[in-house]
């Protein structure tokens, strides 16, 4: 299944998250304060997900431009 | 060529074929369903055929409400709603008034809703315009109005420019003009141009809109009020019918009205609301629960979830480059596959791969617009959708290859531009021919075909041996009027190993009157319009044979193991010719013996069988004289013969015309025109005079004339009262054209005498058969003719004219 970033971003946050679950591969999951931060790889890009653990709401499901951002999580 | 009965026959042929192939009339195996997976014959498949787009059928609140209603009211409250309804009805109607913000009436089904609405709301003073693709249930109800004399006509699908014109034309004569359409069309999933319709409603006070929004209910609009009302007000001149049996996930239907009086009148006078049974309590209970969900913001979330899946599906269809017929925002999708055989093949392949999809086939779509219809629901996962579409993309090329169809054929059949990357696979025919040692020879003139070779196949079959075709080519080319200029194409497909033809025939392309075989009263109606527009309801048709030949035009060597492959090559060439000449229909005609294998083969290739007028042949000329002929007739025919033929025989001088001077040809032509203008049973264009000149000078034809004589033996006024133009071929005598002076027919039974004299003439020439052709079967039977039921196989690209003629026929029959 090949998505471009642009195609991926046409969907709402809930759908993006479902698409990640169905087609993506989870490569990172970390609890940072009241957020669960996950990173998925889908097609040839990465997506950063913020879930608010208190409200159970998705706050962010966005492709990231550069995989070097992963280093940030490694250091946390 | 179609009547209501033939349509039933056509549906029977096609559906039965699908049932035989194991893809229609299926039953699931399981005793309980709980999602979008169903089981057929032990195999689990994902269901892509459900119209319950929101998946509410498994919502525990609906299930619980249905059970509770049964506990409270039983399984049925069996009383007409004219008397009493259980209070759940009242509650539900009130909820729907909130959903639609308009008066509502609930009916047991959408079809019954139309039957309740249409005869009550529309009258004989109104005009009804139905969209060409409006749901069949709407048309069913419209038929009820035909008997009241209501003007009914069909509009080309979604053509608002034409609708505007028709409103302008009809508003002078009719109190109201109703346009009947679907909100979302059930096959291609495309939508009615509602904004444009609203604009017309605002312009013309006489214009009203009746819409069936069954596939839009729940999934669009505030509170799920449907696609028509999505971000629009309820127009005061609109009536809407919508189904509860689709995304609403219960049963029944809701009729929505612009005012209380209209709702009251239908509730009071609508037939099914007086005499039909009510909805079951379980359905009402579930519907109340569903309606309550619709009145919360939960419905918005569900709509959004479905909408995301629809968006995803459109994206995947593009990615996999499938031939999607209409990209839209509804949950119905249609992938064109062109011919029924590819449709059957694909549905089978998809089932084998674990996906159930619908076959979109005639009568829901034209034969050559067969496709795979599938639906998306909120229950589908994104990966199910992606995998199903991926499978379809993988299987379609295989199915196309197996059935000898190309992507290009699909796009052409749906009148869509062929994407550059898909204009491949043109070589299907050449692959078949190379692999199977078949070779197709195509000629543009009979002069290019070897006379001996052609006559070996067709010499005894009719007027289309080598000489006969030469006359036709000379007569129907280079004329002034378009209807008298035909294209001629000759196709011979040979087995290169045996050197023998497997399939051969000739085709003509000509302008036909679409009402050619309609009842005479339909043609009468159409001919009035043709006085201003001579080509009204006419279409170009490519046909085996011609309008002036009868008989077995297509030679097929069924003993050859390659006959089906040869026929595929023949179809391929005919399709190319159809493109070249831009014809609307292909007609393969004059088949007398049609077995199941042949019929099934033609249906798979997109043809439907339709009866032609019976062919009449006198094939026993073993008697020696007129007296023996008489004694061979049945008892009743003898009485008829004595009374209507023998009694007048002596009054006629019968001769074979030998003097084809201009003056005589003019007189014969005038007699032919009498017959042409007197009969609309077989409504054709008038034949050109050039044909008669050619016939008169062709030794293969003869002209038999009947002159009435006075008691002293002189010809009455020296006037010919009848001429018969006959072709003589081998053992056959083939009268093709008749001309008559009708002023003598009643007194002297001219037509009957002519038939008799034709039979006598054939005997005199030592022939074995007289081909008396189509029509006047009763008269011909009385002279010993045997009736041969004859069939044609047709493909129609655009059935608009046929549907419009059917509407005229329906209205007249009802009167």
Contact B308 A11 (CB under 8 A): yes
Number of domains, chain B: 4
pLDDT of B435 reads 61
- Nearest CA distance, A35 vs chain B (angstrom): 24
Check CB contact of B312 with chain A, cutoff 8 Å.
Answer: yes
Contact A23 B381 (CB under 8 A): no
Place of tokens 């929101």: B54
pLDDT of B813 reads 64
Check CB contact of A5 with chain B, cutoff 8 Å.
Answer: no
State yes or no: pLDDT of B4 exceeds 60.
no
* Least-confidence region, from B14-23, B192-201, B708-717: B708-717
Chain A residues with CB under 8 Å of B382 CB are: 15, 18-19, 22-23
Tell whether B534 and B509 lie within a shared domain.
yes
Q: For residue B128, give the nearest of B104, B102, B154 by alpha carbon.
A: B154
List helix spans (H) across B320-440.
340-353, 382-403, 407-413, 428-436
pLDDT of B424 reads 45
* Least-confidence region, from B40-44, B443-447, B451-455: B40-44
Check CB contact of B386 with chain A, cutoff 8 Å.
Answer: yes
Check CB contact of A1 with chain B, cutoff 8 Å.
Answer: yes
Question: Which of A2, A14, A23 shows the shortest C-beta gap to B383?
Answer: A23
Which of A67-71, B163-167, B425-429, B659-663 holds the top average pLDDT?
Answer: B163-167
Helix, strand, coil % (nearest 5) of chain B? 45, 20, 35
pLDDT of B365 reads 85
- The answer for B422, left when phi > 0, alpha when psi is -120 to 50, beta otherwise, is alpha
Residue of A nearest to B310 (CA): A11
- Nearest CA distance, A15 vs chain B (angstrom): 7
- Nearest CA distance, A74 vs chain B (angstrom): 31
Residue of B nearest to A6 (CA): B315
Handedness of CA B84, B86, B89, B90 (dihedral sign): positive
Tell whether B126 and B219 lie within a shared domain.
yes
* Least-confidence region, from B14-18, B625-629, B691-695: B14-18
Whole-angstrom distance, CA of residue B357 vs CA of residue B48: 5
Chain A residues with CB under 8 Å of B381 CB are: 18, 22
Q: What's the CA angle centered on B580, arms B612 and B501, to 5 degrees?
A: 65
Tell whether B761 and B712 lie within a shared domain.
yes
- Nearest CA distance, B315 vs chain A (angstrom): 8
Q: For residue B723, give the nearest of B659, B650, B813, B680 by alpha carbon.
A: B659
pLDDT digits (tens, 9 = 90+) for B366-407: 888 999 999 999 999 999 999 999 999 999 999 998 888 888
Contact B386 A1 (CB under 8 A): yes
Instruction: Report the residue of A12, A40, A61 to disrupt the B interface, i.e. the one with the largest count of B CBs within 10 Å.
Output: A12
Per the CB < 8 A criterion, the answer to whether B684 and B520 are in contact is no
Contact B383 A11 (CB under 8 A): no
State mean pLDDT over B702-730: 81
Check CB contact of A4 with chain B, cutoff 8 Å.
Answer: no
pLDDT digits (tens, 9 = 90+) for B35-54: 899 998 888 999 999 999 99
Residue of A nearest to B319 (CA): A2
Residue of B nearest to A17 (CA): B382
State yes or no: pLDDT of B423 exceeds 50.
no
Q: For residue B668, give the nearest of B700, B701, B644 by alpha carbon.
A: B701
Of B418, B445, B478, which closes a domain? B418
Instruction: Report the residue of A4, A9, A11, A14 to disrupt the B interface, i.e. the one with the largest count of B CBs within 10 Å.
Output: A11
Name the more confident of B131 and B744. B131
pLDDT of B525 reads 85
Transcribe B408-464 into DSSP letters.
Answer: HHHHHHTT-PPPGGG---TTHHHHHHHHHTEEEEEESSGGGS-HHHHHHHHTTTSS-
Tell whether B373 and B444 lie within a shared domain.
no
Question: Which of A2, A10, A18 shows the shortest C-beta gap to B382?
Answer: A18
pLDDT of B524 reads 86
pLDDT digits (tens, 9 = 90+) for A29-50: 989 888 999 999 998 899 999 9
Query: Is residue B423 a part of any domain in this protein?
Result: no
In the structure encoding, which two tokens stand for residue B7, read together? 């349509």
Of B268, B294, B320, which closes a domain? B294
State mean pLDDT over B202-212: 97
Query: Is residue B772 a part of any domain in this protein?
Result: yes
pLDDT of B803 reads 76
Instruction: Find the domain containing B523 and state its range.
Output: 432-614+793-814
Rounded to an integer, what is the distance from CA A1 to the centroid of its chain?
Answer: 17
Check CB contact of B304 with chain A, cutoff 8 Å.
Answer: yes
| Sheet with strand B355-356: strands edge to edge | B37-40, B43-47, B355-356
Check CB contact of A15 with chain B, cutoff 8 Å.
Answer: yes
Whole-angstrom distance, CA of residue B348 vs CA of residue B369: 18
Check CB contact of B381 with chain A, cutoff 8 Å.
Answer: yes
Check CB contact of A7 with chain B, cutoff 8 Å.
Answer: yes
Whole-angstrom distance, CA of residue B12 vs CA of residue B15: 5
| Per-position b or e across B648-663, b if 16+ CB within 10 A of its CB | beebbebeebeebeee
Whole-angstrom distance, CA of residue B130 vs CA of residue B49: 27
Query: Is residue B80 a part of any domain in this protein?
Result: yes
Check CB contact of A18 with chain B, cutoff 8 Å.
Answer: yes
Tell whether B633 and B608 lie within a shared domain.
no
State mean pLDDT over B627-641: 91
Kindly report the CATH number assigned to the domain that includes residue B444: 3.40.630.30
Contact B308 A22 (CB under 8 A): no
Question: Which of A10, A12, A22 shows the shortest C-beta gap to B382?
Answer: A22
pLDDT digits (tens, 9 = 90+) for B266-314: 999 999 999 888 999 999 999 999 999 999 999 999 999 999 999 999 9
Residue of B nearest to A11 (CA): B308
Instruction: Report the residue of B302, B306, B310, B311 to disrupt the A interface, i.e. the one with the largest count of A CBs within 10 Å.
Output: B311
Residues 6+ apart with CB under 8 A from B342: B370, B399, B400, B403, B405
Tell whether B222 and B238 lie within a shared domain.
yes
Whole-angstrom distance, CA of residue B664 vs CA of residue B677: 20
Q: Is the peptide bond before B363 cis (omega within 30 degrees of 0)?
A: yes
C-alpha to C-alpha distances, B806 to B3, B21, B158, B537, nearest whole angstrom: 8, 31, 19, 12
State chain B's mean pLDDT as an integer: 90
- Nearest CA distance, A38 vs chain B (angstrom): 20
Query: Is residue B569 a part of any domain in this protein?
Result: yes
Question: Which of A10, A14, A22 shows the shortest C-beta gap to B311?
Answer: A10
Chain A residues with CB under 8 Å of B315 CB are: 7, 10
Query: Is residue B447 a part of any domain in this protein?
Result: yes
pLDDT of A3 reads 82
**What is the DSSP secondary structure assignment for residue B646, as one 8-state letter?**
I
Tell whether B673 and B594 lie within a shared domain.
no
Contact B308 A2 (CB under 8 A): no
Chain B residues with CB under 8 Å of A10 CB are: 311, 315
pLDDT of B713 reads 55
Query: Is residue B425 a part of any domain in this protein?
Result: no
Tell whether B129 and B245 lie within a shared domain.
yes
pLDDT of B611 reads 83
- Nearest CA distance, B295 vs chain A (angstrom): 23
pLDDT of B797 reads 79
Number of domains, chain A: 1
What was the ipTM of the complex prediction?
A: 0.86
Q: Read off the pLDDT band of A14 (50, 70, 90).
A: very high
Regarding beta strands B104-107 and B127-131, do their DSSP bridges make them parallel or antiparallel, or are they unpaired? unpaired
Contact A12 B319 (CB under 8 A): no
Chain A residues with CB under 8 Å of B394 CB are: none
CB atoms within 10 A of CB B436: 18
Check CB contact of B320 with chain A, cutoff 8 Å.
Answer: no
Residue of A nearest to B306 (CA): A15
Instruction: Find the domain containing A49 and state its range.
Output: 5-74
Tell whether B386 and B282 lie within a shared domain.
no
Reduce the DSSP state of residue B772 to 3 states and report it: strand
Whole-angstrom distance, CA of residue B743 vs CA of residue B737: 19
State yes or no: pLDDT of B719 exceeds 80.
no
Per the CB < 8 A criterion, the answer to whether B241 and B114 are in contact is yes
Kindly report the CATH number assigned to the domain that includes residue B342: 3.90.1150.10
* Least-confidence region, from B12-21, B158-167, B247-256, B639-648: B12-21
Query: Is residue B279 a part of any domain in this protein?
Result: yes
State mean pLDDT over B634-646: 91
Whole-angstrom distance, CA of residue B191 vs CA of residue B227: 8
Question: Which of B308, B319, B386 shows the shortest C-beta gap to A12?
Answer: B308
Per the CB < 8 A criterion, the answer to whether B229 and B221 are in contact is yes
Tell whether B328 and B387 lie within a shared domain.
yes
Tell whether B70 and B34 lie within a shared domain.
no
Chain A residues with CB under 8 Å of B312 CB are: 11, 15, 19
Chains A & B: contacts with CB separation below 8 Å? 27
Per the CB < 8 A criterion, the answer to whether B503 and B573 are in contact is no
Check CB contact of B319 with chain A, cutoff 8 Å.
Answer: yes
For chain A, list the strands marked E by DSSP: 25-32, 35-42, 45-52, 57-64
Whole-angstrom distance, CA of residue B370 vs CA of residue B344: 10
State mean pLDDT over B250-274: 95
Kindly report the CATH number assigned to the domain that includes residue B152: 3.40.640.10
Check CB contact of B315 with chain A, cutoff 8 Å.
Answer: yes
Chain B residues with CB under 8 Å of A16 CB are: none
Tell whether B772 and B647 lie within a shared domain.
yes
State yes or no: pLDDT of B774 exceeds 60.
yes
Chain A residues with CB under 8 Å of B305 CB are: 14-15
Name the more confident of B375 and B813. B375
Handedness of CA B194, B197, B201, B202 (dihedral sign): positive
By CB neighbour count within 10 A (0-12 exposed, 13-18 middle, 19+ buried), where does B740 fall?
buried
Query: Is residue B110 a part of any domain in this protein?
Result: yes
Whole-angstrom distance, CA of residue B387 vs CA of residue B36: 14
Handedness of CA B112, B114, B117, B120 (dihedral sign): negative
Contact A22 B319 (CB under 8 A): no
């Amino acid at each position: 299944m090949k998505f471009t970033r642009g195609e991926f971003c046409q969907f709402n946050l809930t759908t993006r998250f479902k698409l990640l679950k169905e087609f993506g591969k989870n490569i990172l999951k970390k609890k940072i304060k009241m957020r669960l931060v996950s990173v998925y790889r889908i097609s040839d890009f990465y997506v950063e997900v913020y879930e608010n653990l208190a409200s159970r709401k998705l706050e962010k499901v966005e492709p990231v431009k550069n995989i070097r951002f992963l280093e940030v999580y490694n250091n946390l | 060529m179609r009547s209501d009965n033939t349509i039933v026959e056509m549906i029977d042929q096609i559906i039965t074929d699908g049932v035989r192939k194991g893809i229609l009339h299926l039953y699931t195996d399981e005793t309980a369903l709980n999602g979008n997976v169903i089981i057929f014959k032990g195999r689990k498949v994902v269901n892509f055929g459900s119209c319950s787009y929101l998946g509410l059928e498994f919502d525990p609140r609906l299930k619980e409400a249905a059970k509770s209603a049964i506990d409270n009211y039983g399984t049925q409250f069996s009383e007409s709603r004219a008397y009493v309804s259980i209070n759940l009805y009242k509650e539900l109607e009130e909820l729907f008034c909130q959903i639609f913000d308009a008066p509502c009436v609930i009916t047991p089904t959408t079809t019954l809703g139309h039957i309740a609405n249409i005869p009550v709301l529309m009258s004989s003073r109104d005009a009804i315009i139905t969209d060409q693709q409006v749901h069949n249930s709407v048309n069913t109800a419209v038929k009820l109005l035909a008997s009241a004399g209501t003007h009914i006509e069909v509009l080309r699908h979604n053509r608002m420019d034409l609708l505007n014109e028709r409103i302008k034309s009809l508003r002078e004569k009719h109190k109201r003009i109703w346009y009947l359409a679907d909100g979302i069309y059930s096959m291609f999933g495309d939508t009615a141009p509602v904004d444009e319709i609203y604009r017309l409603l605002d312009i013309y006070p006489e214009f009203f809109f009746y819409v069936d929004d069954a596939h839009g209910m729940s999934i669009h609009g505030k509170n799920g009020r449907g696609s028509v009302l999505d971000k629009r007000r309820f127009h005061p001149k609109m009536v809407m019918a919508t189904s509860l049996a689709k995304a609403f996930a219960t049963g029944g239907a809701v009729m929505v009205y612009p005012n209380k009086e209209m709702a009251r009148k239908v509730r009071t006078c609508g037939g099914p609301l007086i005499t039909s049974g009510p909805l079951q309590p379980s359905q009402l209970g579930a519907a109340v629960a569903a309606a309550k969900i619709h009145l919360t913001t939960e419905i918005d979330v569900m709509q959004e979830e479905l909408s995301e899946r629809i968006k995803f599906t459109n994206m995947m269809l593009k990615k996999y480059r499938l031939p999607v017929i209409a990209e839209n925002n509804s949950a119905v999708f249609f992938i064109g596959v062109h011919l029924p055989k590819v449709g059957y093949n694909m549905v089978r392949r998809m089932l084998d791969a674990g996906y159930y999809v619908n076959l979109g086939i005639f009568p829901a779509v034209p034969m050559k617009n067969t496709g795979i219809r599938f639906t998306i629901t909120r229950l589908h996962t994104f990966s199910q959708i992606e995998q199903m579409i991926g499978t379809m993309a993988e299987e379609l090329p295989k199915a196309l290859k197996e059935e000898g169809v190309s992507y290009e054929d699909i796009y052409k059949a749906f009148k869509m531009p062929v994407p550059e990357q898909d204009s491949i696979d043109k070589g299907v025919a050449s692959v078949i021919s190379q692999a199977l040692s078949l070779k197709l020879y195509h000629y543009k003139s009979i002069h290019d075909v070897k006379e001996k070779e052609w006559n070996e196949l067709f010499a005894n079959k009719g007027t289309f041996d080598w000489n006969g075709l030469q006359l036709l080519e000379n007569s129907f080319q280079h004329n002034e009027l378009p209807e008298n200029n035909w294209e001629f194409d000759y196709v011979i497909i040979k087995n290169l190993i045996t050197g023998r033809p497997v399939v051969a025939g000739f085709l003509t392309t000509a302008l036909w009157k679409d009402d050619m075989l309609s009842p005479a009263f339909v043609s009468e109606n159409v001919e009035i319009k043709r006085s201003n527009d001579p080509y009204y309801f006419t279409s170009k048709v490519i046909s085996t044979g011609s309008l002036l030949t009868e008989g077995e035009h297509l030679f097929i060597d069924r003993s050859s193991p390659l006959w089906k492959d040869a026929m595929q090559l023949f179809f391929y060439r005919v399709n190319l010719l159809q493109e070249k000449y831009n014809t609307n229909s292909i007609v393969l005609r004059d088949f007398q013996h049609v077995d199941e294998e042949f019929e099934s083969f033609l249906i798979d290739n997109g043809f439907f069988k339709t009866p032609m007028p019976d062919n009449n042949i006198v094939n026993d000329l073993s008697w020696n004289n007129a007296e023996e002929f008489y004694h061979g007739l049945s008892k009743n025919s003898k009485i008829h013969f004595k009374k209507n033929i023998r009694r007048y025989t002596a009054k006629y001088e019968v001769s074979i015309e030998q003097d084809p001077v201009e003056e005589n040809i003019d007189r014969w032509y005038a007699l032919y025109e009498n017959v042409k203008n007197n009969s609309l049973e077989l409504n054709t264009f008038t034949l050109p005079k050039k044909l008669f000149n050619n016939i008169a000078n062709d030794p293969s034809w003869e002209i038999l004339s009947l002159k009435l004589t006075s008691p002293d033996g002189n010809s009455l006024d020296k006037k010919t009262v009848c001429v018969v133009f006959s072709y003589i071929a081998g053992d056959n005598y083939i009268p093709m054209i008749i001309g008559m002076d009708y002023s003598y027919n009643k007194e002297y039974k001219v037509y009957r005498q002519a038939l008799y004299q034709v039979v006598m003439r054939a005997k005199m020439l030592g022939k074995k058969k007289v081909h008396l052709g189509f029509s006047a079967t009763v008269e011909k039977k009385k002279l010993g003719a045997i009736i041969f039921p004859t069939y044609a196989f047709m493909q129609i690209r655009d059935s608009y004219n046929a549907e419009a003629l059917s509407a005229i026929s329906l209205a007249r029959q009802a009167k």
